[in-house]
Amino acid sequence: MTRPARLALAALALAALLPAGGRGQPGSAGAETPAAVSWTLVVERPGGARARLEFLVAARTPTDAERAVAAALRALPVAPVPPGASAAWRPWGWAWSDDELPVPVAYNPAGAPPVVGPQAVIAGLQAWSSVEGSRFAFRYAGITDRTASILDAGPDGENVISWVHLPCHRGCVLGLTSKEEVHEVDILLNSNPNALTELGLDTVLDWRTIILHELGHMAGLDHSCPAPWGPCTPDEVAAVMYFQYTGINRVLAPDDRAGIRALYPAQPPPVAARRLALEPGWNLLVAPPVPPAELAARLPCLAVAYAFDGAAWLRWAPELPAPLRTLARFPPEAPVWLLASGPCAAEFPAP
């Protein structure tokens, strides 16, 4: 692999736990009104591999949010690259190929809050794996010692959910998803127990909701609505993939399911086979959509076929010399006469 590993990161941050009114225009993010802010950064690893970071942070002011991102960045082994370097690639551009499904996801519980066990991960994997009309599926790969690759020099070949302590200061990154060009995606969750108290909140964060959202990024979905300021439809706001945490949301919304179906539609059902049986003598049947020679090859009892094209009778028979085989193809829906020397039958694709 000569191209540098590229990586995209999306982060979900605390927003709607904050008082109502948190969703507003950037200008409304004054001292009284907390708001989510979002922007993209390109960073470089010590080894040179670049990454794209998409942050969503809740904070009382844009300045606080910027500080929260800067604090989170200092805890990661990456350095910001001047703007303008990100134009060549898109953050969530690739989807898993069929031979990568189901996508294995391992969990590293080190540092997790006591309330978060593997079941929180498994529930999220199952939700995204059971969207009707989609072939997408995750597979729980068990407990791992590995950590999310954004903490390392590069991808390690395993899709991992792990925890790390990221600093919070009036704003807090809760989780981020990194997407490598080599088809590896990792999720990093913030184990900082002060994530809520730093924001002056005494409520309990629902990690299953956070994990479900990040797994949607891992599956290949972007946010349901352009972050950060929309406009967003009610359906987009209700989605798990909405860019703000809006409280417990453990069930995929129609918008989420539509997204996964669009990315990974269910395989078309196998073409229905139709059994065609000839009785000895004349049979009046709609012929399958194959050339007469192929029909005869698969129905050895076929002696001759006649079709009326509206003006004349056309015929085909194995015995006939080519110039006399006037029937080149069967009419798609009209019945034709087939003379059989005995009984025979075969399966053909349905028309």
Q: Which stretch binds Zn ion (CB under 5 A): 3-11, 182-190, 251-259, 310-318?
A: 3-11
Q: Tell me how far apart the alpha carbons of residues 351 and 255 are, in angstroms, rounded to a whole number.
A: 35
Under rule CB under 5 A, residue 215 binds Zn ion: no
Q: Which residues in the 12-41 window bind Zn ion by CB under 5 A?
A: 12
Q: Nearer to Zn ion by C-beta: 10 or 58?
A: 10
Rounded to 10 degrees, the C-alpha dihedral 267/268/273/274 comes to: 160
Type of residue at 189: L
Q: Which stretch binds Zn ion (CB under 5 A): 10-18, 110-118, 261-269, 333-341?
A: 10-18
CA distances from 11 to 36, 174, 214, 306, 350 (A): 12, 7, 8, 68, 49
Q: Which of 7, 8, 9, 10 touches Zn ion by CB under 5 A?
A: 10
- CB proximity list for 102: less than 8 A, separation 6 or greater: 129, 137, 138, 139
Q: Which stretch binds Zn ion (CB under 5 A): 4-12, 29-37, 280-288, 294-302?
A: 4-12
Q: How far is the CB of 206 from Zn ion (least distance, A)?
A: 15
Helix 118-129 / helix 207-219 crossing angle, nearest 10 deg = 40
Q: How far is the CB of 56 from Zn ion (least distance, A)?
A: 6
Q: How far is the CB of 8 from Zn ion (least distance, A)?
A: 11
SS3 category, 31: coil
CA distances from 307 to 223, 266, 296, 350 (A): 57, 39, 15, 19
Under rule CB under 5 A, residue 172 binds Zn ion: no
Residue 134 forms beta bridges with which residues?
A: 265
Q: Nearer to Zn ion by C-beta: 223 or 315?
A: 223
Q: Nearer to Zn ion by C-beta: 176 or 296?
A: 176
Q: How many CB atoms lie within 10 A of CB 144?
A: 18
Q: Which stretch binds Zn ion (CB under 5 A): 9-17, 92-100, 138-146, 163-171?
A: 9-17
Q: Nearer to Zn ion by C-beta: 60 or 213?
A: 213
Q: Nearer to Zn ion by C-beta: 163 or 245?
A: 245
Under rule CB under 5 A, residue 278 binds Zn ion: no
Q: Nearer to Zn ion by C-beta: 10 or 253?
A: 10
Q: Nearer to Zn ion by C-beta: 12 or 150?
A: 12
Q: Nearer to Zn ion by C-beta: 55 or 96?
A: 55
Under rule CB under 5 A, residue 103 binds Zn ion: no
Of 137, 133, 138, nearest to 261 (Cα)? Answer: 133
Of 110, 152, 104, nearest to 125 (Cα)? Answer: 104
* Total chain residues near Zn ion (CB under 5 A): 2
Of 175, 199, 189, nearest to 61 (Cα)? Answer: 199
Q: Tell me how far apart the alpha carbons of residues 55 and 291 are, in angstroms, rounded to a whole number.
A: 59
Q: How far is the CB of 166 from Zn ion (least distance, A)?
A: 15
Of 167, 174, 163, 150, nearest to 68 (Cα)? Answer: 167
Question: Would you give the end-to-end CA distance of the chain in angstroms?
Answer: 46
SS3 category, 33: coil
Q: Which stretch binds Zn ion (CB under 5 A): 11-19, 38-46, 167-175, 259-267?
A: 11-19
Q: How far is the CB of 68 from Zn ion (least distance, A)?
A: 16
Q: How far is the CB of 170 from Zn ion (least distance, A)?
A: 21
Under rule CB under 5 A, residue 176 binds Zn ion: no
| Residues near Zn ion, by CB under 5 A | 10, 12
